[in-house]
Amino acid sequence: MPSLDRPLARTALVAVLAGGAVVLAGCSSSSEAAAPTSSSGASQVNITLTGGDSDACTLDYDSVPAGPVTFTVTNESSTAITEIELQSDNRILGEKENLAPGLSPVSFTVTLDGGSYEIYCPGAETETVAFTVTGTAASSSGGTVQSLLEDGAEGYATYANGVAADMVTAVANLQTAIDSGDLTAAQDAYAKARPFYEKIESDVDGFVLPGYDATDNAGNLDYLIDMRESTPVDDAVGWSGFHAIERDLFQNGAITDQTKTYAADLVTHTDELVDVMAGLTYAPEDLANGAADLLEEVQANKITGEEELYSHIDLVDFAGNVEGAEQAFAYLRPGLEEIDADLADQVQAQFDAVNALLDTYRDSSALGGYELWTDELKATDAAALSKAVQALQEPLSSIAEKVATA
């Protein structure tokens, strides 16, 4: 979400440029005319992923003028390419992940200044393609709408930094419980610590330690804090963080010296996270894209049960993602109401519907305050939850372009 370096660990970003007549094997682009623009003035770029004899990532334009750009990504048939990123000087400026073939197109909007960029499509026969943004992005007029949106972005930064600070306390409590050897207390502390990261994980683009680039997981705080065992482990860095602790506490049912080391490392990395986040800044469209990313996390990892493989507290994480998305939207809403009040009301209504459905799973006696997401519950309820989230995703996905072009 923010424009700071992040190693390529867990997902990818999309953001781009468009146009040109360059054709590369695997990742290509072409254009003979200027990229079209929407009624709001954002350049429109399509990225298509295809499989077959070779997997390819194709842009319909590789050059656009500076300003807001909306990228729409469609995976027609590639099983090798599941994510794309827009990069500049090792910075990931936007992303889309979980791009399974046959799913509906997904889009995001970013505001780009003039310069050279790169689209990264891991898994394509040729994984990168150069693209250019020409000219200089127009400065904001400082009008009422723009001021409201900028105030919202600043307010969200304060919120996110506060969540990170609260996470420090929760993780310290987790370490204390683990060091005491009390398995039940440690399980409870784990469930209480998890939501904090889930609320702000759309900001992982900036969760990178100073001195590291976007290829080194040793400095990637998202990898160090929240990497799942199901994701390929970087052998040079190893595996630790929340989910290594989760495995010990819930699957193995034992606290070992290694568990205590995991907890100590998590405390260190959480402290580092607070320092890194203090330097992050956000554009209004970052909030909108981040809210959409959090809902994609819900669909891809929480409803499937992949996130909390051993503890099954996926609904706790689900609630954290939804809260983070709603807070991002709430900070944008005063400005959005000036732009499109009906859309603002529609999105809020869908947030209310998701929250009402989520409330039916609350259980004060359960870890984290929600029912465990067991295979049995998932079998009966996953479809309804997914449908409710999708109904929210659809109007929410249109906000980024509106605020970027305000």
Task: Give the fold, CATH level 3, of 27-134.
Answer: Immunoglobulin-like (2.60.40)
Closest among 61, 133, 71 to 285, alpha carbons compared: 71
CB atoms within 10 A of CB 147: 14
pLDDT tens profile 293-332:
999 999 999 999 999 999 999 999 999 999 999 999 999 9
Please tell me the predicted confidence (pLDDT) of residue 22. Answer: 35
Could you report how far apart the first and last alpha carbons of the chain are, in Å? Answer: 19
Distance in angstroms (rounded) separating the CA atoms of residues 182 and 255:
8
Q: 315 versus 54: which is more confidently predicted?
A: 315
- Following DSSP, what letter does each residue of 203-254 receive, concatenated? GGGG-B-TT--TT-GGGBHHHHHH--TTSPP-TTT---SHHHHHIIIIII--
How confident is the model over 248-273, as a mean pLDDT?
98
Please tell me the predicted confidence (pLDDT) of residue 151. Answer: 92
The CA distances from residue 339 to 333, 335, 380, 390, in Å, are: 10, 7, 40, 23
How confident is the model over 64-92, as a mean pLDDT?
86
For CATH 2.60.40.420, the residue range(s) in the chain are 27-134
For CATH 1.20.1420.20, the residue range(s) in the chain are 144-404
CB atoms within 10 A of CB 215: 12
How confident is the model over 222-244, as a mean pLDDT?
92
Distance in angstroms (rounded) separating the CA atoms of residues 247 and 239:
12
Q: 238 versus 22: which is more confidently predicted?
A: 238
Architecture of domain 144-404: Up-down Bundle (1.20)
Q: 111 by DSSP, 3-state: which?
A: strand
Q: One-letter amino acid identity for 39?
A: S
Cα angle for residues 304, 308, 311 (degrees, 5° grid)? 125
